[in-house]
A = this chain, B = another copy of it.
């Protein structure tokens, strides 16, 4: 369970959030954060287990639930069989997803400033009209990845 030096700060933040919520800092949890930080896209449980050798399935699910409740991890559901997990956006960067309709691959893309502005403007208008108070948004582009095109 090696911890690359460059990620020290991330792990410190995660540890702080865990302790604040009365949760323990365990090797499994540190590894999970590490795995997600290294990936440039949301991972499924099988993908996570392939990168975190020996982690029991139930522990993976339980720890990801804990990490989510502490605001470190975000769970997303696309259309594949498995849910996907990624680090919370305040630990990484705001981004959107490219989803391949053929092979199911998911990739991160940074959000353009113009698009963000349009989304916020739309959300403001919607709140005025409907009373819906937007907390965050999700933009997915569904299409064919380079390999499937």
Contact = CB atoms under 8 A, between A and B. Distances in A.
* Identical chains in the assembly: 2
A145 B132 CA distance: 5
A128 interface: no
B131 A135 contact: no
Interface stretch (A5-13, A27-35, A42-50, A119-127): A119-127
B141 A132 contact: yes
A75 interface: yes
Interface string A106-149: 01010010110111011101100011111111111111111001
Contacts of A107: 130, 132
Nearest to A141: B134
Given A79-B77, A122-B114, A130 B109 contact: yes
Which 9 A-B pairs rank lowest in CB-CB distance, beginning with the nearest? A131-B146, A118-B118, A134-B143, A135-B143, A138-B140, A115-B118, A134-B141, A133-B144, A115-B122
